Amino acid sequence: MQSPAWIGYGEAMNQKTEPTSKHNARTRKQLQKELEQAQDYEQWLAAATALDDLDGKLAWREQAETGMLHESLMRQHMASMQQCRANTDTRRLIRVLQESLYRHLGELSNPELYSVARSGTNRLVQEFLSEVETSMEFICSHPIPEVSTARKLEMFRDAERVYGRPALMLSGGAAFGIYHLGVARALWRQNLLPDVIAGSSMGAVVAAAICTRNNQEVTEFFEHPEHIHLQAFRWLGIRDGLREGHAMDPRQLQEHLLANLGSVSFKEAHDHSGRTLNISVSPTRTQQKPRLLNWLSSPEVLVDSAVMASCAVPGIFPPVTLQARDASGGPNSSVPYMPTERWIDGSVHGDLPLMRMARLHNVNKTIVSQANPHVVPFITHHDESGLKAWAKQAAVSLAHGQLATALKLTRQSPTPGLIRPLIEQAHAMASQQYLGDINIHFPLRPSLYRKVLANPSTEDLDMFIQLGEQATWPRLAMIKDQTRISRAFDRCIRGLEKVLEKESA
């Protein structure tokens, strides 16, 4: 009996499909290897784009409808912006911009938009942001009836304050925190490094190294990491450690900080770099509050002393008395700042001082680089999707809540004076937030934990920096899009300031 024709067709198709599947598998394996071994963002993006093409994700990026955006309203607002520019109607363009940003900012901030394709999100996001950016520049460069340049500059500054600005926040992490250098360098090379940077513990060292340098010096710093002083740790012997009450020599850490940062106040650092440095320190007294030190709240405090305090992990380094610039002395003189208070590791009470950053600097978008060894194992699921990731997130959230509640109850119970500060610190560490709006985290590699409290070799330095860059590249599309309007505000304000300066001259 003769077989039906479709059976023969199916066998032929299977024979054709099998080599194609094998070819795709080989291609995928090669592209995945290129992705993992990329030496710069351009190489990584080329491999990511090819993988997206292989998976059909590039087609999703071109889709007219995604289900994640109010596409029809966004296109309507884009058309209105174009019409206003064509008619040179700046007043109406301002109203359209205000309405469209208010309506769409929430959906544009949805991280799910960046979870589909590796190389970026749907084309409509870029088109909408381009229209907004073009319209802002149009308003900046075209006259508004009865509005002077000075008034227009004031309007842009007010709008920027309402909109907010991004900030980079660097966690603690001991030697793991060197990875923050790679994160910051990846952002710097794409012109995406925020001007507002916060750091705790080792994150404070990296933040201060960036914010005490001007642009030319930062470029030199990132391009030549071999010049970085690496010897921060010197273990005391058992006898000395027991006598002093801490395991490491603070003089070695001080030498490390002075070699990499110099001795400048927060205000001097801001005036020199144009960046706003923020360093978290935690109190030793239970009645004292944690502080976020910067040029606004503590302009005369010396940066190296603030970093020294932020690195003072209990039991590893002793508490620190902050130092401030002595106005009556020479340029290198200093006096104790709040001399009756001593401060410890900023990560204890404020690894990521999100609320204080929002209040002080109007931060609306936090880019968090998280490298704390005790945090990383519990946040890797944020990069994953599916039932397994959901179950892990639920388990971690439940355990975190139970621990925080238990420590809160212990904290409220009568406890001996020597134990109470330890409970306070444990409760603060268990109850604080360790993630922000856009998160870049140290990869979970158990073999590296032996290096946490060791001075890095030059090979370790390169390795940690590369890990930071590789972790940042997949986030660059989101960071670029979600900080684009803030960067447009900066350009418009600088442009208007130059115009006003010329008019005044």
Q: Tens digits of per-residue pLDDT, 317-343?
A: 999 999 999 877 666 789 999 999 999
Task: Decide: 486 and 366 in contact? Cβ < 8 Å.
Answer: no
Confidence of residue 407 (pLDDT cuts 50, 70, 90): very low
Q: Of the residues 100, 135, 171, 201, which is catalytic?
A: 201
165-378+426-475 to CATH, choices 3.40.1090.10, 3.40.640.10, 3.30.980.20, 2.60.40.10: 3.40.1090.10
3-state SS, residue 287: coil
Distance CA 254, CA 257 (A): 5
Give residue 330's identity as a one-letter amino acid code: G
Kindly report, residue by residue over 83-95, the tens digit of the pLDDT. Answer: 999 999 999 999 9
Q: Which of 504, 436, 457 is nearest to 183 (CA)?
A: 436
Where along the chain do its domains lie? 36-147, 165-378+426-475
Asked about 89 being catalytic, the answer comes back as: no
Higher pLDDT, 500 or 408: 500
Q: Is the pLDDT of residue 396 over 50?
A: no
Q: Of the residues 52, 345, 351, 481, which is catalytic?
A: 345
Q: Is the pLDDT of residue 427 over 80?
A: no
Structure tokens at 7: 């059976």
Q: Give the pLDDT of residue 85.
A: 97
Most confident among 103-117, 127-141, 366-380, 430-444 (mean pLDDT): 127-141
**Which of 59-68, 96-105, 333-342, 417-426 shows the lowest per-residue confidence on average (mean pLDDT)?**
417-426
Other CB atoms closer than 10 Å to residue 504's CB: what's the count? 8
Kindly report, residue by residue over 181-206, the tens digit of the pLDDT. Answer: 999 999 999 999 999 999 999 999 99
Instruction: Report the share of the chain in percent with pLDDT over 90.
Output: 73
- H or E element that contains 176: none
Higher pLDDT, 384 or 313: 313
Confidence of residue 10 (pLDDT cuts 50, 70, 90): very low
Confidence of residue 266 (pLDDT cuts 50, 70, 90): very high
Confidence of residue 386 (pLDDT cuts 50, 70, 90): low
Confidence of residue 385 (pLDDT cuts 50, 70, 90): low
Kindly report, residue by residue over 133-175, the tens digit of the pLDDT. Answer: 999 999 999 999 999 999 999 999 999 998 999 999 999 999 9
Give residue 479's identity as a one-letter amino acid code: I
Mean pLDDT of 285-297: 90
Average pLDDT, the chain: 87
Q: Give the pLDDT of residue 166.
A: 96
Distance CA 472, CA 441 (A): 9
Q: Is the pLDDT of residue 408 over 50?
A: no
Kindly report, residue by residue over 231-245, the tens digit of the pLDDT. Answer: 999 999 999 999 999
Mean pLDDT of 472-479: 97
Phi first, then psi: give them for residue 157, nearest 5 degrees: -65, -40
Q: Which of 84, 130, 36, 4 is nearest to 466 (CA)?
A: 36
Structure tokens at 452: 């946490």
Give residue 262's identity as a one-letter amino acid code: G
Placement of tokens 């444990």 in the chain: 426
Distance CA 460, CA 470 (A): 15
- H or E element that contains 380: none
Q: Give the pLDDT of residue 286.
A: 76
Q: Give the pLDDT of residue 382.
A: 53
- Is 493 exposed, middle or buried, given 0-12, 13-18 or 19+ CB atoms closer than 10 A? middle
> Radius of gyration (Cα) for the chain, nearest Å?
26
Q: Which of 101, 163, 129, 109 is nearest to 358 (CA)?
A: 163
Q: Which of 283, 131, 311, 101 is nearest to 204 (CA)?
A: 311
Mean pLDDT of 470-498: 96
Give residue 275's identity as a one-letter amino acid code: R
Confidence of residue 22 (pLDDT cuts 50, 70, 90): confident
Give residue 92's identity as a one-letter amino acid code: R
Q: Which of 231, 196, 190, 211 is nearest to 469 (CA)?
A: 190
Asked about 345 being catalytic, the answer comes back as: yes
Task: Decide: 47 and 31 in contact? Cβ < 8 Å.
Answer: yes
This model's pTM is above 0.75: yes
Instruction: Report the share of the chain in percent with pLDDT over 70.
Output: 84
Q: Give the pLDDT of residue 7.
A: 43
Kindly report, residue by residue over 26-74, the tens digit of the pLDDT. Answer: 999 999 999 999 999 999 999 999 999 999 999 999 999 998 999 999 9
Q: Is the pLDDT of residue 384 over 60?
A: no
Q: Which residues contact 457 (CB under 8 A, 6 or more apart)?
A: 230
Confidence of residue 79 (pLDDT cuts 50, 70, 90): very high
Confidence of residue 434 (pLDDT cuts 50, 70, 90): confident
